[in-house]
Structure 1
Amino acid sequence: MEWIENHNSLLQIWISFATLSVWIVYAQILMSQYRRTRRPKILINQTRGQSLRARFLVSNMSQESVHIEVILVGLQSDGNEHWYLVSDWEPTQDDDQADTNRYGTFQGPLAAGSSLDIGDIRGLIAQRDAEQRDESRHKVGTGIFDENGVKCTSFEIMVVGVYSSENGVIGASRTFDINDEGAIHPHDAETSQCNKRRERKRMEGLHSRYL
């Protein structure tokens, strides 16, 4: 007790610093949680099996609506990459199950917690911008073929949109591998959110090319 009385002022300073440190850490945790909840999150999932008829869902796991501007598919084969705009097209009878609006497009707001069925990979490639490509290339055998007729080993689905709390465009992408039997498997365990500067620059470049 005598030592405490003799060092009372010093102890009060240390207690004040300790209290301040606790509040700073607590404030950082709250800020981190707030930013995480305000950050947009889009999921791209494969459903209905692993064949080329498997369908893909785009889900909005953000707190607010995301306005989808562009959906792109990149076919990858032998180190080459060919991108296709798949968010606008003339609907066909074989594609009546996709979640499109009456304008024949996937563009528009996607509410928080909602999902969008964009169809299967063959439908996305063969039935979009069909006037520029030979559709039969994408329906032969057990594979998917690019515009040069080369069989693809993987493809990437990229969703580009706008979110209220973010400047510029936001988006997400996911790559899927195709084996020799035509089975589709996700390359990674989760959807990649395009948050890094390099990813955003690549996404903005593709966005400006097709919008």
Structure 2
Amino acid sequence: MLEWIKNYHTILQILISFATLGIWIFYAQILLAQHRRTRRPKILINQTRGRSLHSRFLVSNMSLESVHIEVILVGLHNDDDETWYLVSDWEPTRDDNCADTNDYGTFQGPLAAGSSLDIGDIKGLISQRHAEERDQENHTSNASIVTKDGIACSAFEIMVVGVYSSEKGVIGASRTFDIDKYGHVHPRDAETGQCRSRNERRRMQELHRRYL
């Protein structure tokens, strides 16, 4: 055995060197992947205060740095049809003290790491916050989707579009909530979807361009 090692020690040294290099590359990839995960932006959209149309929604920034919120959109889904509303800007009223707003009537601005933003309930977001589109004479979708008794749709999606320092372009997250026949609101998925794939980012950017 010792004689065999003596004869092939050069080859063994080369093999050991390659094995050591492979181990270092493996651990370097793990550290790089972990670093990328920690640097990625993460936005959560959660439902609080019950499961009704009066439930309130929180936007939380779980990233390492602040996220600047560009727009917040709500899409109402009914069968194969969907209608989107810009809910991050509106004309301030005396009823706006129920959500985390400022004097200009907007949710836009930086959201610090670990902070949450109360954007209100879905009925308020649609019926109160989107005054411009609601007041258009030719806009008729409100009559079929939003009524005085509630929201006549099967699901709605909340999408948050923002800017993060370490990411190119806009970043965002969305979450869909289903409404059953009793008016109960439930999240469709267990967690908020982060818009990171190419198709998701393309869809988000298209909605961003349309409503910004």
Quote the residue 2:138 is aligned against: none
- 1:139 deviates by 5.2
Aligned to 1:28: 29
SS of alignment partner, residue 129 of structure 2: coil
Which residue is equivalent to 2:99? 98
Match of 1:140 among 145, 148, 170: 148
The AA in structure 2 aligned to 1:38 is R
- Tell me, yes or no, if the aligned pair for 2:92 and 2:104 is still in contact at 8 Å: no
**Sequence identity of aligned pairs in percent?**
73
Q: What corresponds to 1:7 in structure 2?
A: 8
Q: Hey, what's the Cα distance between the residues in 2 that align with 1:43 and 1:129?
A: 23
Whether contact under 8 Å (2:73, 2:88) holds in the other structure is yes
Correspondence 1:164-203 to 2 at 5 A: 164-203=165-204
Q: What whole-Å deviation, never above 9, does each CA across 1:82-113 have from its counterpart, x for those lacking one?
A: 00000001233333120012221000000001
- Paired AA for residue 117 in structure 1: D
Q: CA deviation at 1:29?
A: 0.4
Offset from partner CA, 1:38-78 (integer Å, 9 cap, x none) = 11000000001101110000000000000000000000012
Q: For 2:98 and 2:129, locate their aligned partners in 1 and report how far apart those are by CA, in whole Å.
A: 15
- Whether the aligned pair in 2 keeps the contact of 1:95 and 1:123 (CA below 8 Å) is no
Secondary structure of the structure 1 residue equivalent to 2:31: helix
Structure 2 counterpart of 1:148: none
Distance 1:97 1:139 in 2: 21
Q: How many residues align?
A: 204
Paired residues for 1:39-188 under 5 Å: 39-133=40-134, 138=146, 140-141=148-149, 143-144=150-151, 151-188=152-189
Amino acid at match of 2:148: V
**Distance between the aligned counterparts of 1:133 and 1:140, measured in 2?**
13
Q: Report the TM-score when normalising by structure 1.
A: 0.92
Output the TM-score relative to the length of structure 2.
0.92
Give the whole-Å Cα distance in 1 for the aligned partners of 2:64 and 2:113.
6
Structure 1: state its 5+ residue gaps.
Answer: 145-150
